[in-house]
Structure 1
């Protein structure tokens, strides 16, 4: 873990204009900066950076956040990866806490492998462009494939000399460790002699999401029945093949903007499509899709279109990844490239515009495509048809996320029509598979954790069970989208973050935070929103330790829910609140940094008044339920007391509630 001291140093140096300016061209406009939004296509700038609040906001697509959120969304970093990026940018040494010797050693190993791969990438690129063999063999091959020098440099392609140890000698002379060179796969040792593993091959560097080289793919150029066409780096501390998609680093922004990922099979497919201007494309490198790869795609988009050669092998390869992709909540389409073509050859044959049009007009829904192909295979075989119904029901059952309910129902309706079976029967079968899958998870959970283990985190909710029952009874599930207005509670957080350390009373030297945390009501009871309560609790803990946090602590909080709420709070326009409060509660309000005392009093009074009115309702309900005379008298007395407090607040009496 990164130490709190390091995090504080990073946060103190953050300049959101500088950070966002690394990726977006910004122009100063008054106190703010304006640019074209990197998260959606726009011609007129609506993307604003506000240095005083340390936030960005796009008024076109709605994206907003702080500098760390920008890095997480734009570069698809985790919170820790974003911190490491900032630490490197601002030359902040990273202190780790609670790191075991094994973890530290693993991190050092990973750093060493990255350094070696970076050196190798530069070496192979230099060999390609600046040696006679590299130009005559490697560069000629790439140019024959139709790649321009700009494209070759963009993808950092290279060449390894057809020599036993040209690279090895250079690497060892530079002081690189032989063991680590072997671990990367760049060097092999035979008969106790270290030599180049990729000699006589063109080199395709494989990058991670931030552009670091994880490994290499190396293609042989001369026909050799004894040697594989491609050699890939072996798996090690930084390269795990089933977690990587080739081209992600170059495609990530295009995928994000177009909200679609095209998936192809090979390196050259990716490079050719990029060169043609179709940049939202990555490759599985000839392997079946894995769950990790699908989740990597989902970081950028829910829409996956798989491009496969139109032969039987391509079709079967496409179907293998179907259920897993559906389970991850991806909207999957399939495009079959005409026979004897692949994306690389086809885009060069028909051109970029025609290729885009071909993709758009030939997308097939994955589930329905699977159904059509399977029905063709089944023919008139009734047993095979029965098996097919079960297979399709099991596939549809994996679309079990609440937000995908409508899509699941569409599939059930369409598939029942194609299969010519009762729709309600297919619904029941789908739900049977959902229950069976959940039961298996429960049993596995019990085996792993013992019979007395707490329930699984992904236990079916009462709402999900009710929805399933409604479906089986032919009804529609009820969905509650109600979200109460919590603006007043957010305003309390805003006041603490902006003015918590400001003086509230010169008389006793108290602060705004003192006033709020010494109200005659528990501060948590004034809020209903759990996220607001968490912020108030954390603020109070630091307040009790005489360590008042500033807004940066919460604005860049490691809990992204908290950071997101604080960003939203900082975006609020104060004037929107004033009129509503005055109309509803007759409380005059004045907003702005110069009126923070009035802000504090009116906000806390509003929340107390809301609490009192809730108590009045609860007291009336208790009085109606009571059949004991003494209890009814107590309720009447309480009602009088609460109504008096309500009147004092609404009439502006006793607004400062220190006692």
Structure 2
């Protein structure tokens, strides 16, 4: 884990305009910056960056976040990877803390393997380009495959010489650890002697999502029936085959832009397609897809198209595990390359445009593809057909998200038609698989909470719509209070009291019902009590709790307003003053765009003068909500307890609460609200 001290140093140095500006051409517009969104195709800029709040928001696709989340989203990094990227950009040394000695050793081993792999990658590249053997054998092979030097350099392809110890000698002479070289799979120990593991092979380095080398694939060039065609790095702290898709580092931006991931089988398929300009492509390495690989695809897109040659064994292997893709919500399609070709040879044969056209015209939905392929093996065998029906029903049952209901029904309709069976029967079988899967999982208890009971009771009373909304549905005012705490909480209410302290003195956080608001208000309260000097909105924008951080960004991106029904109830006076405020604000925007600093300063004074009114208004709304809840509870008690003395006491409480309600409502009618 990265130490808090390092994280704080990174946060103090990062500049969102500087970081986002590396990937997006930004133009200053008033206080903010505007550019074309990097997360979707658009011609009219709608991607806005606020340097003062250190957040971004695209009003086209809706994506928003802070500097760190931008790097994570754009580069598809984890949180730690994004921090390390930023640390490297600003020249900050990363200090890491470890939970245990074992974890510390794992991190140290991983770092050492990264260094060794980087050294090996450079060695293999030098051997390919700078030695006679490499050029005559390795480079000639790549060029025979149609690879140009530009693409060879892009993928950092290399060559390991025939000599048994060329790499071993070079690595040991540079003081690299023997055990780690063995763990990395770069050398092997045979009969007590160390020797190169990849000798006489061309090398395909495998990179992680940040571009670091985590392993290698090595292809033999000589005909040797005893030796495997490919040797891959053994699994270690870096290389876990089930979590790797070859080429993902080079394909991520193209996949994001195309909103589709093309999956092929081999390394050369990926390289050839990239060379042809088809860059949204990765390879599985010939294995059936795993859940981790599918989730890696889903980081970029929900659309997966698998492109394989017509080898039936390879296709059936590819189909294994694709039910998992349906559960992950991926839209999976398959394409078979014709005439015994593979993606590598076919794109070289027909060209990029014809290849893309073929894929678009021939890709078939996974379930229907699986059905058509399996029918060839079924023939007239009733047992095999029954097995196929069950298999298809089980696959369809995995498409069980609410938003995919129509797709599931379409599968049932088409499959029953192809199989020539009753549609209702197949639908019942699909539902059986769904029920069986649900019953096998742990089911959470669902007891009705007090809120549900209160809503049911309130619905039976004669509350008007606005009161019912405030009590049980409209939580915008709670969010407005949270936004006010973020924006004004660290200002001073008077000479000695922060606005946050004033708010906490007036309200009880337990009165807040919205879970996200409660968590944020509670976090602000704890921070103010423990370390008020750290308190500002940026502290929570970059909070370690990602859910809390996302909620804060949403508040700062979308200022909340009162319920429209409560604006109407507050009276014309309040609405008139809000209109004046809006007119002043629009006037302010026009004058600031003309560079009128006097007007800017005047508006600042207006805003500051209204701060207390804004705070008081939010507190009053929350108090009003609490009073109305107490009125509801008191009314229920009055209906239950008919004893005269108790009823008299409850009636007195009712009148007192109504007086308090009236007082606050009157006050809200004269206060300028934000």
Within the alignment, does 1:250 sit opposite 2:242 as a pair?
A: no
Within the alignment, does 1:566 sit opposite 2:552 as a pair?
A: yes
The answer to whether the 8 A contact 2:81-2:210 is kept is no
Structure 2 CA distance, aligned partners of 1:585 and 1:405? 44
Within the alignment, does 1:619 sit opposite 2:634 as a pair?
A: yes
Within the alignment, does 1:650 sit opposite 2:665 as a pair?
A: yes
Which residue does 2:455 correspond to in 1? none
Which residue does 2:505 correspond to in 1? 518
Structure 2 CA distance for partners of 1:633 and 1:460, relative to 1, 3 Å:
closer
Report which stretch shifted further, 587-596 or 549-558: 587-596
Which residue does 2:452 correspond to in 1? none
Number of residues of Structure 1 aligned to a counterpart in Structure 2? 617
Structure 2 CA distance for partners of 1:295 and 1:376, relative to 1, 3 Å:
same
Structure 2 CA distance for partners of 1:76 and 1:371, relative to 1, 3 Å:
same
Within the alignment, does 1:279 sit opposite 2:279 as a pair?
A: yes
Which residue does 1:151 correspond to in 2? 151
Aligned counterpart for 1:534 among listed residues 514, 519, 522: 519
Which residue does 2:291 correspond to in 1? 291
Which residue does 1:83 correspond to in 2? 83
Which residue does 1:24 correspond to in 2? 24
Within the alignment, does 1:494 sit opposite 2:449 as a pair?
A: no
Which deviations, in whole Å up to 9, do the C-alpha atoms of 1:153-178 show, x marking residues without a partner? 11111122222222222222222112
The answer to whether the 8 A contact 1:158-1:204 is kept is yes
Structure 2 CA distance, aligned partners of 1:193 and 1:414? 62
Which residue does 1:607 correspond to in 2? 622
Which residue does 1:472 correspond to in 2? none
Which deviations, in whole Å up to 9, do the C-alpha atoms of 1:78-131 show, x marking residues without a partner? 223323333333344444445211110111000000011111112222222222
Which deviations, in whole Å up to 9, do the C-alpha atoms of 1:295-321 show, x marking residues without a partner? 211121221111111232233123223
Secondary structure of residue in 1 paired with 2:513: coil
Report which stretch shifted further, 127-136 or 326-335: 127-136
Report which stretch shifted further, 303-312 or 189-198: 189-198
CA drift of 1:141 comes to: 1.8
Report which stretch shifted further, 581-590 or 629-638: 581-590
Report which stretch shifted further, 161-170 or 51-60: 161-170
Structure 2 CA distance for partners of 1:180 and 1:67, relative to 1, 3 Å:
same
Which residue does 1:201 correspond to in 2? 201
Which residue does 1:132 correspond to in 2? 132
Which deviations, in whole Å up to 9, do the C-alpha atoms of 1:176-218 show, x marking residues without a partner? 1122112111122334432222222211110011111010111
Secondary structure of residue in 1 paired with 2:124: helix
Structure 2 CA distance for partners of 1:281 and 1:566, relative to 1, 3 Å:
same
The answer to whether the 8 A contact 1:516-1:523 is kept is no
Structure 2 CA distance, aligned partners of 1:595 and 1:257? 45
Structure 1 CA distance, aligned partners of 2:228 and 2:315? 25
Within the alignment, does 1:323 sit opposite 2:323 as a pair?
A: yes
The answer to whether the 8 A contact 2:71-2:77 is kept is yes
Secondary structure of residue in 2 paired with 1:562: helix
Structure 2 CA distance, aligned partners of 1:273 and 1:624? 76
The answer to whether the 8 A contact 2:262-2:280 is kept is yes
> After superposition, where does 1:38-53 map in structure 2 within 5 Å?
38-53=38-53
Higher helix share goes to which structure? 2
Which deviations, in whole Å up to 9, do the C-alpha atoms of 1:590-635 show, x marking residues without a partner? 6845532222111112222233234334434443454344444334
Structure 2 CA distance, aligned partners of 1:351 and 1:116? 38
Within the alignment, does 1:552 sit opposite 2:538 as a pair?
A: yes
Which deviations, in whole Å up to 9, do the C-alpha atoms of 1:551-600 show, x marking residues without a partner? 122111222221111111111247x6698864343456668455322221
The answer to whether the 8 A contact 1:272-1:344 is kept is yes
Secondary structure of residue in 1 paired with 2:410: helix
Within the alignment, does 1:543 sit opposite 2:558 as a pair?
A: no
CA drift of 1:653 comes to: 8.1
CA drift of 1:436 comes to: 2.8
CA drift of 1:244 comes to: 0.4
Structure 2 CA distance for partners of 1:534 and 1:324, relative to 1, 3 Å:
same
Which residue does 1:270 correspond to in 2? 270
Structure 2 CA distance, aligned partners of 1:13 and 1:246? 34
Secondary structure of residue in 1 paired with 2:61: coil
Which residue does 2:654 correspond to in 1? 639
Structure 1 CA distance, aligned partners of 2:608 and 2:77? 35
Structure 2 CA distance for partners of 1:460 and 1:546, relative to 1, 3 Å:
closer
Secondary structure of residue in 1 paired with 2:121: helix
Structure 2 CA distance for partners of 1:369 and 1:26, relative to 1, 3 Å:
same
Structure 2 CA distance, aligned partners of 1:59 and 1:289? 36
CA drift of 1:533 comes to: 0.5
CA drift of 1:282 comes to: 0.5
Structure 2 CA distance, aligned partners of 1:412 and 1:579? 45
Structure 2 CA distance, aligned partners of 1:29 and 1:413? 53
CA drift of 1:17 comes to: 1.6
Give the TM-score taking structure 1 as reference length. 0.87
Structure 2 CA distance for partners of 1:416 and 1:39, relative to 1, 3 Å:
same
Which deviations, in whole Å up to 9, do the C-alpha atoms of 1:427-471 show, x marking residues without a partner? 332232233334444xxxxxxxxxxxxxx4x649799xxxxxxxx
> After superposition, where does 1:396-415 map in structure 2 within 5 Å?
396-415=396-415
Secondary structure of residue in 2 paired with 1:194: strand
The answer to whether the 8 A contact 1:79-1:558 is kept is no
Which residue does 1:469 correspond to in 2? none
Structure 1 CA distance, aligned partners of 2:110 and 2:486? 40
Structure 2 CA distance, aligned partners of 1:292 and 1:286? 15
CA drift of 1:649 comes to: 1.7
The answer to whether the 8 A contact 1:235-1:241 is kept is yes
Which residue does 2:587 correspond to in 1? none
The answer to whether the 8 A contact 1:648-1:654 is kept is no
Secondary structure of residue in 2 paired with 1:503: coil
Secondary structure of residue in 2 paired with 1:404: helix
Structure 2 CA distance, aligned partners of 1:418 and 1:616? 63
Structure 2 CA distance, aligned partners of 1:178 and 1:361? 52
CA drift of 1:326 comes to: 1.9
Which residue does 1:447 correspond to in 2? none
Secondary structure of residue in 2 paired with 1:502: coil
The answer to whether the 8 A contact 2:631-2:657 is kept is yes
Structure 2 CA distance for partners of 1:54 and 1:33, relative to 1, 3 Å:
same
Structure 1: any 5+ residue segments left out of the alignment? Answer: 442-455, 464-482
The answer to whether the 8 A contact 2:288-2:319 is kept is no
Which residue does 1:597 correspond to in 2? 612
> After superposition, where does 1:256-405 map in structure 2 within 5 Å?
256-405=256-405
